[in-house]
């Protein structure tokens, strides 16, 4: 379907970009031709996001060339890129929570009526049509506030489709989407492709890359290292190109001796969100909470930790009942919670690595006169940085300078330093590259081996199957399946997750 | 909640039904934000009128309208800035400069056409707003700091310029003073002007791209930038418009009171911000309308008047306004939480 003879719609030639001393992009070279769906893969920190920002006009090149239709251009801001027909869906949804879905889609390009006034009817109609095309039931007039991440991502996609883009760039658009939503997105991608648009698709899910991309560009350490047809590659070969080395088994959960139940959830209910959820997690065990996006898994975790209040049921940690809705009490009882959204909930992005890592331990670091011991704080942070093999420049750097995987390690350090009995991790490897991913998995496995009880929420089935001793499946706010490791496979989990079967151990 | 049950069964299928519900819910909530304050206003007037029937006579109502008019204009300007997640504290000093300029000009050149004076006042205000906006966008200094600075600096400038003098009503032409005291079809001219200003700004914020972009910037500056909104230019223009409206307020201040010295309008900045916030404009940007802010201005003015009518001690008046402000913010937060919860449940149900 690609016209190899055609001039690339968009191309980068030996692009370079540095942020201070960090060379984020050393050789960005790629071309997107009409009708091409090209994948861009690489570990986190490989420079993919920087490359996307350059193509989207968010940042400017230090050296090299940006070409549109073969002509060298410079984008000074996102508007320039948009005017050139380039639509970008960024990794993190960037929406206006206070404005309606329709207005989020139309912002900056509202349809105008008489006297340059906004034509609200047209705006609403266009938004509704786009949402219908994407096959989602979303009311275009509701505010974006309160939408799930998946729905927000759908709005982002609608926004990008709302002007007839010649090049569509998607930075991990599927990270938050469930199966049917991904399928619909791919349908839209194919339609665009048939119309001669070029698409650049970034994903950590390699099966998606092989499913819709014909060509793949691999980046490592800021440079493009290969540019091939996906048909000529296997997944293993692609992973090897990304990490530059062979990987050990991806999911190294070792079998641990199970101890006493440390976390016990009994008939937990939150009105309108989930109902009658009961399960136990034993010492040394990893229990996965699987299900589709919106099944209520993260919400269960939030109630267990006391962020939201339960309307019924209760939670016990090591046999002691937790008070309802009090995170401090949960922490004191030995509960730790690594949330789904690192940037919003897991970290204080402007604070240093050290400050973030010690945030949960301030009480222990505080001397009798009420001052925080600077040296103790540094030692604690250094200790955990070493134990988790954190890659950093200085502990005083803001945590925002780290790659996603290393940020996740800081969140883990923050919680592990409280010496918890029970660890709840929500999507522990979302947006993390393959190499760091297996490090996180090994870490979780080791922790379970040391007698921690771990509740892991994950949307990635290979992760669930590889890591969990037991899989609890949720569907529409209810537990619809409990599957022991030996019997767990993708089909059984999906059957329970889509509510097609009640599965009991 | 039984929103499900309220939807007419069998109309338009499940899609249309859940859409209509969400729409109704958000509609009601947004209307409630302004309805709540209208209700508070009605209650206040009713209680005062019962205790002191003379409160409702024509003269007293006229005074209410006159008192609120200038504040409503300033609150409209303040809303433009607050919506972008900024604030303009300097409005009262801008008002003083513009008021003194208008008074001096008309005293010295009584034949000057009034529209010219109004335009000059607004121009002066716009210039001050341009300075504020420039420091905020180009200088990257928080608006709170910038406008706190210009609040003092411009007030100082007013003292330097007036040098202890004051403008008196006797020296001003009657046709000018008529703006402050006259009526059009029985409605005070000032109130008519305020209404027109509020309607224009309201329509601008509702129906024009650049107006909507102000909401976008306040709701998420980063997303606005990525959507191609020229955030710096927009924020700057919000400050210019707020300055121009403060300038207009200054000219009208002179027309209403006749007497102007360097202390004109001292303390107005907080009344104006309070009016906007009471009217449902959030300090965090992205939410609120000028209509709410204008009603907020009317409510604050009415409280002051009714407390005077009810012979309440002046110290209590301040306390009452403070209490109202906190109550308004608490109410707004409560509504916000309820809305979040409702939207959350709706999302959960839809996903299910």
d(Cα B169, Cα A205) in Å, to the nearest integer?
77
- Is A227 near chain B, with CB under 8 Å? no
A126 φ/ψ sector (left φ>0, alpha ψ -120 to 50, else beta):
alpha
| Residue A299 falls inside a structural domain | yes
- Between B148 and B23, the more confident residue is B148
- Is A75 near chain B, with CB under 8 Å? no
Q: A116–B213: do the CB atoms touch at under 8 Å?
A: no
If asked whether residues A83 and A228 sit together in one domain, one would say yes
Decide which of A369, A398, A419 is a domain's last residue: A419
If asked whether residues A327 and A356 sit together in one domain, one would say no
- What Cα–Cα distance (Å) separates residue A142 from each residue in A125, B18, B314? 14, 11, 45
Shortest distance between the Cα of B198 and any Cα of chain A, in A, equals 17
Chain B residues touching residue A99 (CB < 8 angstroms):
212, 215-216, 219, 286
Chain B residues touching residue A303 (CB < 8 angstroms):
none
Chain B residues touching residue A143 (CB < 8 angstroms):
26, 343
Which residues, listed in sequence order, are joined to residue A32 by a DSSP beta bridge? A10
Residue B24 pLDDT class (50, 70, 90 cuts):
low
Shortest distance between the Cα of B315 and any Cα of chain A, in A, equals 38
pLDDT of residue A470: 93
CATH number at residue A323: 3.40.50.300
If asked whether residues A68 and A127 sit together in one domain, one would say yes
Range of the domain at A174: 10-243
Cα–Cα nearest to A470, from A451, A455, A489, A485? A485
The mean-pLDDT minimum among A289-298, A350-359, B11-20, B223-232 falls in B11-20
If asked whether residues A220 and A259 sit together in one domain, one would say no
CA B62 to chain centre: 20
Chain A residues touching residue B219 (CB < 8 angstroms):
96-99
User: How does the average pLDDT of chain A come out, rounded?
Assistant: 85
ipTM of the complex: 0.80
User: How does the average pLDDT of chain B come out, rounded?
Assistant: 86
- The string of pLDDT tens digits covering residues A246-271 is 444 556 677 778 889 999 999 999 98
Q: A142–B218: do the CB atoms touch at under 8 Å?
A: no
**Beta-strand pair A320-321/A478-484:** unpaired
If asked whether residues A195 and A139 sit together in one domain, one would say yes
Q: B344–A78: do the CB atoms touch at under 8 Å?
A: no
Chain B residues touching residue A101 (CB < 8 angstroms):
none
**Beta-strand pair A478-484/A86-89:** unpaired
Spell out the domain ranges in chain B: 67-304
- Write the DSSP assignment of B219-236 as a string of letters: H-HHHHHHTT--HHHHHH
If asked whether residues A234 and A198 sit together in one domain, one would say yes
Of A110, A295, A296, the CB nearest to B209: A110
Non-local CB neighbours of A132 within 8 Å, separated by 6+ positions? none
**Beta-strand pair A274-282/A261-270:** antiparallel
Residues 141-170 of A with CB under 8 A from B: 141-143, 145-148, 151, 159
Which residues, listed in sequence order, are joined to residue A398 by a DSSP beta bridge? A352
Non-local CB neighbours of B271 within 8 Å, separated by 6+ positions? B71, B300
Chain A residues touching residue B216 (CB < 8 angstroms):
96, 99, 107-108
Domain count, chain A: 3
Which residues, listed in sequence order, are joined to residue A291 by a DSSP beta bridge? A474
If asked whether residues A216 and A238 sit together in one domain, one would say yes
Chain B residues touching residue A273 (CB < 8 angstroms):
344-345, 348
Most confident of A75-84, A124-133, B197-206, B320-329: B197-206
Cα–Cα nearest to A75, from A67, A92, A19? A67
Is the pLDDT assigned to residue B254 strictly greater than 50?
yes
A-B interface: how many C-beta pairs under 8 angstroms? 121
| Residue A343 falls inside a structural domain | no
| Residue A478 falls inside a structural domain | yes
The mean-pLDDT minimum among A242-251, A368-377, B125-134, B149-158 falls in A242-251
pLDDT of residue B347: 60
Which burial class, exposed, middle or buried, applies to B214 when counting CB atoms under 10 A from its CB (0-12, 13-18, 19+)?
buried
Which letter, b or e, does each residue of B90-105 get, where b requires 16 or more Cβ atoms within 10 Å of its Cβ? bbbbbbbbbbbbbbbb
- Between A39 and B335, the more confident residue is A39
Shortest distance between the Cα of A161 and any Cα of chain B, in A, equals 13
Shortest distance between the Cα of B72 and any Cα of chain A, in A, equals 24
């Amino acid at each position: 379907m690609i016209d190899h003879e055609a001039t690339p719609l968009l191309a980068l030639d030996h692009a370079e970009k540095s942020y201070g001393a960090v060379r984020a992009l050393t050789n960005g070279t790629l071309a997107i031709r009409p009708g091409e769906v090209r994948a861009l893969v690489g570990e986190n920190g490989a420079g993919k996001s920087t490359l996307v920002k350059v193509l989207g006009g968010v940042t400017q090149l230090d050296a090299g060339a940006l070409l549109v239709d073969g002509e060298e251009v410079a984008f000074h801001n996102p508007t320039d890129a948009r005017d050139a027909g380039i639509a970008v869906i960024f990794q993190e949804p960037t929406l206006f929570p206070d404005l309606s879905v329709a207005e989020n889609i139309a912002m900056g390009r509202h349809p105008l009526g008489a006297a340059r006034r906004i034509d609200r009817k047209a705006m609403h109609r266009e938004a509704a049509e786009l949402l219908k095309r994407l096959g989602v039931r979303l009311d275009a007039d509701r505010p974006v506030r309160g939408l799930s991440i998946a729905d927000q991502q759908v709005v982002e996609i609608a926004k990008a489709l709302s002007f007839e883009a010649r090049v569509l760039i998607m930075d991990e658009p599927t990270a938050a989407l469930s199966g049917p939503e991904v399928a619909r997105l791919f349908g839209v991608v194919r339609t665009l492709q048939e119309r001669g648009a070029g698409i650049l698709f970034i994903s950590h899910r390699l099966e998606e890359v092989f499913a819709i991309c014909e060509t793949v560009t691999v980046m490592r350490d800021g440079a493009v290292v290969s540019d091939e047809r996906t048909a000529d590659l296997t997944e293993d070969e692609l992973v090897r190109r990304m990490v530059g080395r062979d990987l050990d088994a991806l999911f190294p959960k070792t079998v641990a001796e199970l101890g006493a139940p440390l976390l016990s959830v009994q008939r937990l209910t939150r009105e309108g969100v989930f109902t009658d959820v009961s399960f136990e997690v034993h010492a040394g065990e990893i229990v996965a909470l699987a299900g589709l996006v919106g099944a209520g898994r993260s919400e269960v975790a939030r109630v267990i930790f006391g962020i939201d209040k339960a309307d019924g049921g209760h939670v016990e940690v090591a046999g002691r009942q937790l008070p309802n809705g009090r995170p401090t009490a949960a922490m004191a009882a030995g509960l730790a919670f690594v949330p789904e959204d690192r940037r919003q909930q897991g970290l204080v992005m402007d604070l240093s690595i050290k400050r973030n890592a010690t945030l949960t331990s301030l009480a222990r670091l505080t001397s009798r006169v009420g001052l925080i011991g600077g040296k103790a704080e540094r030692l604690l942070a250094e200790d955990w940085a070493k134990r988790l093999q954190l890659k950093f420049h200085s502990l005083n750097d803001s945590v925002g300078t780290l790659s996603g995987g290393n940020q996740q390690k800081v969140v883990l350090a923050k919680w592990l330093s409280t010496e918890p009995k029970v660890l709840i991790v929500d999507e522990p490897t979302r947006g993390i590259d393959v190499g760091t991913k297996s490090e996180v998995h090994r870490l979780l496995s080791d922790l379970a081996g040391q007698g921690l009880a771990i509740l892991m929420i994950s949307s990635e089935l290979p992760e669930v199957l590889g890591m969990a001793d037991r899989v609890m499946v949720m569907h529409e706010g209810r537990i619809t399946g409990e599957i022991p490791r030996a019997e767990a496979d993708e089909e059984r989990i999906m059957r329970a997750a889509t509510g097609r079967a009640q599965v009991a151990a | 909640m039984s929103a499900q049950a309220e939807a007419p069964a069998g109309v338009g299928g499940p899609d249309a039904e859940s859409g209509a519900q969400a729409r109704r819910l958000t509609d009601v909530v947004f209307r409630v934000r302004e309805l709540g304050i209208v209700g508070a206003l009605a209650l206040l007037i009713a209680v005062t009128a019962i205790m002191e029937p003379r409160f409702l006579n024509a003269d007293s109502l006229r005074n209410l309208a006159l008192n609120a008019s200038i504040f409503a204009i300033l609150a409209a300007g303040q809303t433009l800035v607050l919506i972008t997640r900024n604030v303009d504290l300097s409005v009262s000093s801008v008002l003083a400069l513009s008021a003194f300029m208008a008074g001096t000009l008309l005293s010295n050149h009584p034949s000057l056409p009034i529209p010219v004076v109004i335009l000059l006042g607004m121009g002066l205000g716009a210039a001050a707003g341009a300075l504020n906006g420039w420091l905020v966008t180009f200088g990257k200094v928080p608006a709170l700091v910038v406008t706190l600075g210009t609040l003092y600096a411009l007030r100082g400038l007013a003292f330097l310029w007036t040098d202890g003098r004051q403008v008196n009503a006797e020296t001003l032409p009657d046709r000018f003073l008529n703006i402050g005291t006259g009526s059009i079809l029985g409605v005070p001219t000032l109130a008519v002007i305020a209404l027109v200003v509020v309607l224009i700004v309201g329509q601008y914020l509702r129906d024009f791209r650049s107006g909507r972009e102000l909401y976008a910037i306040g709701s998420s500056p980063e997303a606005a930038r990525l959507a191609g909104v020229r955030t710096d230019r927009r924020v700057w223009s919000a400050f210019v418009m707020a300055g121009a409206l403060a300038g207009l307020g200054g000219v009208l201040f002179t027309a209403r009171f006749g007497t102007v010295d360097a202390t004109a309008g001292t303390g107005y900045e907080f009344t104006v911000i309070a009016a906007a916030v009471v009217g449902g404009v959030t300090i965090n940007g992205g939410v609120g309308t000028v209509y709410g802010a204008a009603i907020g201005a009317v409510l604050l003015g009415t409280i002051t008047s009714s407390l005077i009518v009810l012979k309440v001690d002046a110290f209590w008046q301040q306390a009452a306004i403070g209490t109202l402000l906190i109550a308004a913010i608490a109410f707004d937060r409560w509504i916000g939480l309820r809305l979040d919860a409702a939207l959350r449940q709706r999302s959960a149900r839809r996903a299910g």
